[in-house]
Amino acid sequence: MSAQETIKNAIDTNDVMLFMKGTPVFPQCGFSSTVTQILNYIGVEYNSLNVLEDQDIRQGIKDFSNWPTIPQLYVKGEFVGGCDIVKDMFEQGELREFFEENGIELAAAEE
C-alpha cells in the first residue's frame, strides 16, 4: 500500500484521526502534545498515526491535505486543521460542538 493509500485508508476508517509526531502517550513535539491534551480533555476517542515512523507518510500527509505542518486532525474524512486551529476552536468553545454536530460521542465533561 502506498503512503497515500495508507493515509486515505486511515482517514476513511476512523471517525477521528490524528496524524502526529509521536504517540498520544508519548508525543514528540509540543504541537502534537497540545492537540492530544485537548482531545483527551474533551473526551473524544481518536486514532493516531506517528508520522515519525515513516518518512513517506510524514511527507504524504502534507501533500494529501496541502497543509505544511503536523499534527493534522481529520473528522469524518474532513481535514479540520493543525494545532493552531484545534486550539482556537477549543478556546472559543467550538470544538466540542463541532464533534457533536458530526455525531462524534464525547465522554461526559468533568465539572
- Give the 3-state secondary structure of residue 64: helix
Give the domain 3-101 fold: Glutaredoxin (3.40.30)
pLDDT at 110 over 70: no
Question: Domain locations in the chain?
Answer: 3-101
Mean pLDDT over 57-85 rounds to 97
pTM above 0.85, yes or no: yes
pLDDT at 1 over 90: no
Q: At what angle do helices 83-91 and 30-42 cross, to 10 degrees?
A: 40
Beta-bridge partner residues of 20: 50
The rounded radius of gyration (Å) of the Cα atoms in the chain is 13
The per-residue pLDDT for 108 is 67
pLDDT at 62 over 90: yes
Cβ atoms of residues 40 and 104 within 8 Å: no
